[in-house]
Chain A
C-alpha cells in the first residue's frame, strides 16, 4: 500500500478543512468535517457572533492534525472538534431563543395575579344590589343654573354644597346621605339622557368614596369633567353626577360565565363530533384505496395507492390551525369553519390509521373467501370488514378525543367553540372568566381521554 505524505495531507487540510482526509482516501470523514465546519461558520456569520470563530479555528486545526496522523496511519478521534461545534450550536441556540433564566426567577411575581385568578374561576357569584343618587352640574354656567338639591328623609340623596355650574376643570363639592353605612362607592359622570357614562378619574385614579356609620357621604371635591356629546363647546350643557354603591346579596349561585362556558363547551364537543363524523365518511373508502394489500394487484391499482398515500401525507402535514384560517376566510367566523378544518385534517389522519389497520389484517380469510368464487366486493364485506371494525372504532374514538382538544385551539383563530371565548377573555385580561374556560377544557379533555381509553381497551 502506498504511503501518503503526512505534510502534504496536513497542508491540504489547512487550506480546506477535510481535504487532507479526502486525499488519504477517507472521503466520508473529510466530507463530514468540511460540511460541519462550513455550516457552523455560516451560522456564526448569520448571528454575527464573530468571537465564536475561535471554536471554528480550533476544530479546523484539529482537522489538520487529524489529516497528518491519518497519513501516518494513526487516525485520531473526531470527538473534540464535534464537541466544539456542538457547543457553538448551543450557544447560538441560546441567543436565538432569547433564553433569560434571570428573568425567569426575578419576574415570577408578575404571574401571581394571573395564577390566582385562574385557580378561582368565575363559576359562582352572588346577586348584586345597587344604591344610587344623582345631582346635576352645568358646564359652563348659563343664566339659570340647576338647583343645589335638598336632603331627603329616607331615600339616598346628593346635594351640591358650593356651585352647580362652572367651566371644565373648576372644582365643586358634593355631599350625600341615607346610603348604606360604611360602604365604598364610585362616582359616575352621565349625560342627561343617561346613555353615555364613565367613571370620574382624578389624577389618574378612579374617584371613590366611603360612607360613614350613618350612611353619609362627607363633602367630596370633584374637578368638573368634560361633558359628553355633540353639544360640547356650544354653550352650557348639563350632566348628571351619580354616586353608586354596589353590594353582593343572597346565596352563591352559578354565574353567567359558567353558563356561557357550558354553552361553548357543548359547541366544542359537537364541533368535534361533526368533524369526526364527516371525516369517517371520507376516510373509510379512502383507507381501502391506501391499503397496500388490497391495491397490490396490478399497476393501475398500485398507482391509485401511491396517489392516495401522497395526498393523505400532504393533507396531514398541514396544521389544522392553518386550515382553520383558510376556512374562516372561506365560510366566515364560527364553528362551521372549525368543523371543516378539523374534518379535512382528520380524513388524512384517519385515512392513514385505517389503511394501516387494513394492511395488518390476517390474509387467511381473504384467501378462503376468494377460493369460494366470491367477487372482490363480497371478499371485502365477508373477509376484510369483520377484521377491521374493532380497530376502526378504536381509532375513531381516539380521533374524536383529539378533535375536542384541537377544537379548543381552532377557536383561537375564529373557528368557533370555547377557544374563541377563551381567546377574547385573555385579550380583555378577564382572567377569572378565562380560568373557568381553562378548567372546563381540562375537565372535558380528561373525561374524554378516559372514556376513549376505556372504549379502546374493551374493543381491541
Chain B
C-alpha cells in the first residue's frame, strides 16, 4: 500500500506544483494519473522516489516513510521502485546491454560494478530484454534504436530492479499511437503477471479507459478526481482538462 499524504511541492521560483495531494494506492493497482501538461504529474511521480524533494507532506510505502529516508536507506528504497521516463533517459553512447545492466546498480557491489557486472547479472539482463522482445539488440548502441525500442530498453532496465512499484512518467508521449499500446501492454503484463503496482501518468483518455484500474485526476497541482475510469463522465473530463477540451481517440 502506497499512501500519499498532503504532498506539497513549491519550486525555488515560487511555482506551486503540488498542493496538498493525498491518495492511496493498494498493492497490485494500475493507477493512472491524468492531467494536462504542467498539472504536476511528473513532479508527483518524482517525489515518490525522491528524484525531487517534496516541500511538505509524507509518502508512506508499506509502513516506511519514504520522505524521511536518507542516504543508504533511500537508495535501498529506490532500488525497489522502477522508473520509466518519457524521454527514455538512456545513455545514448552505451550499449543496450549496459543500459539494462545499469538498472541493477543498487544491488551489486559498487566497486565491482565499476569494473564489470557478474555473469548472472548479464544473464538476468538478457532475460529481461527477451521479456520485451529485443534480446537481439543487446550489443547495439542505444542511439541506433527507434523510439519504441528505446522505451522497451527503459522497461528492461527498470525490471532489473525487481521492482514492487513501477513509476511511469508519460511513457508513451514520445511515441506514435500504435507503439503506445505495445508499450502499455508490457506494463499491463507486469501488473497482472508479476503483481507490480503501476503508477503511470497519461493524458489520452481512451488509453486511460483501456489500461487503468484506478484514476487520479490532477489539475494545477490539486486532485480533482479519484475513482474508476468508467466514472469519468464528460463533466468530470472537463473539470480535469478545462472547458474547451474535446476527447480525442487514439487508435
Contact A382 B78 (CB under 8 A): no
Residues of the A chain whose Cβ atoms lie less than 8 Å from the Cβ of B114: 377-378, 381
Contact B89 A374 (CB under 8 A): no
Contact B85 A373 (CB under 8 A): no
In the assembled complex, A368 has its CB within 8 A of some CB on chain B: yes
In the assembled complex, B113 has its CB within 8 A of some CB on chain A: yes
Q: Which of A359-411 contact B (CB under 8 A)?
A: 362, 364-365, 367-375, 377-378, 381-383, 386-387, 389-390
Q: How far is the CA of A382 from the CA of B91 in the complex (A)?
A: 8
Contact B85 A369 (CB under 8 A): no
Known: A367-B85, A378-B105. A372 touches B90 (CB 8 A): no
Known: A368-B157, A390-B93. A373 touches B87 (CB 8 A): no
Residues of the B chain whose Cβ atoms lie less than 8 Å from the Cβ of A374: 75, 102, 105-106
Contact B76 A373 (CB under 8 A): yes
The number of residues on chain A lying at the interface, defined by a beta carbon within 8 Å of a beta carbon of chain B, is 21
Residues of the A chain whose Cβ atoms lie less than 8 Å from the Cβ of B102: 368-369, 372, 374, 382-383
Contact B79 A372 (CB under 8 A): yes
Contact A373 B93 (CB under 8 A): no
Contact B105 A382 (CB under 8 A): yes
Q: How far is the CA of A367 from the CA of B92 in the complex (A)?
A: 14
B48 to chain A, nearest CB (A): 10
Known: A377-B110, A382-B91. A367 touches B79 (CB 8 A): no
The number of residues on chain B lying at the interface, defined by a beta carbon within 8 Å of a beta carbon of chain A, is 33
Known: A378-B110, A378-B114. A372 touches B93 (CB 8 A): no
Q: How far is the CA of A362 from the CA of B93 in the complex (A)?
A: 12
Report how many A-B pairs have Cβ atoms within 8 Å: 79
Contact B78 A372 (CB under 8 A): yes
Residues of the B chain whose Cβ atoms lie less than 8 Å from the Cβ of A390: 93
Known: A381-B114, A382-B91, A383-B91. A371 touches B81 (CB 8 A): yes
Known: A371-B49, A372-B104. A386 touches B78 (CB 8 A): no
Residues of the B chain whose Cβ atoms lie less than 8 Å from the Cβ of A378: 105, 110, 113-114
Known: A373-B78, A373-B161, A374-B75. A368 touches B85 (CB 8 A): yes
Closest to B71 in A: A375
Residues of the B chain whose Cβ atoms lie less than 8 Å from the Cβ of A375: 75, 105, 110
B74 to chain A, nearest CB (A): 8
Q: How far is the CA of A432 from the CA of B79 in the complex (A)?
A: 72
Q: Which of B75-108 contact A (CB under 8 A)?
A: 75-81, 83, 85, 87-94, 98, 102-107
In the assembled complex, B51 has its CB within 8 A of some CB on chain A: yes
Contact B104 A386 (CB under 8 A): no
Q: How far is the CA of A365 from the CA of B104 in the complex (A)?
A: 14
Contact B161 A372 (CB under 8 A): yes
Residues of the B chain whose Cβ atoms lie less than 8 Å from the Cβ of A373: 75-80, 105-107, 161
Q: How far is the CA of A163 from the CA of B91 in the complex (A)?
A: 97
Contact B91 A365 (CB under 8 A): yes
Q: How far is the CA of A382 from the CA of B105 in the complex (A)?
A: 9
A171 to chain B, nearest CB (A): 88
Specify which of A364, A367, A372, A387 is in contact with B105 (CB 8 Å cutoff). A372
Residues of the B chain whose Cβ atoms lie less than 8 Å from the Cβ of A389: 93
Residues of the A chain whose Cβ atoms lie less than 8 Å from the Cβ of B51: 367, 370-371
Q: How far is the CA of A5 from the CA of B62 in the complex (A)?
A: 82
Contact A386 B93 (CB under 8 A): yes
B106 to chain A, nearest CB (A): 3
Contact A365 B89 (CB under 8 A): yes
Closest to B163 in A: A372
Specify which of A368, A377, A381, A386 is in contact with B89 (CB 8 Å cutoff). A368
Q: How far is the CA of A371 from the CA of B52 in the complex (A)?
A: 11
Q: How far is the CA of A372 from the CA of B157 in the complex (A)?
A: 9
Residues of the A chain whose Cβ atoms lie less than 8 Å from the Cβ of B104: 372
Specify which of B75, B77, B83, B98 is in contact with A368 (CB 8 Å cutoff). B83
A selection of 17 A-B contacts at a CB cut-off of 8 Å is: A364-B85, A365-B89, A368-B157, A371-B49, A371-B78, A371-B83, A372-B79, A372-B157, A373-B79, A374-B106, A377-B114, A378-B105, A381-B113, A382-B98, A383-B91, A386-B94, A387-B91
3 A-B pairs closest in CB distance? A373-B106, A373-B79, A364-B89
Contacts beyond the supplied A368-B102, A371-B83, A372-B102: 20 A-B pairs with Cβ under 8 Å: A362-B92, A364-B85, A364-B88, A365-B92, A368-B83, A368-B89, A369-B105, A370-B51, A371-B81, A372-B106, A372-B157, A373-B78, A373-B105, A375-B105, A375-B110, A382-B91, A382-B94, A386-B93, A387-B92, A390-B93
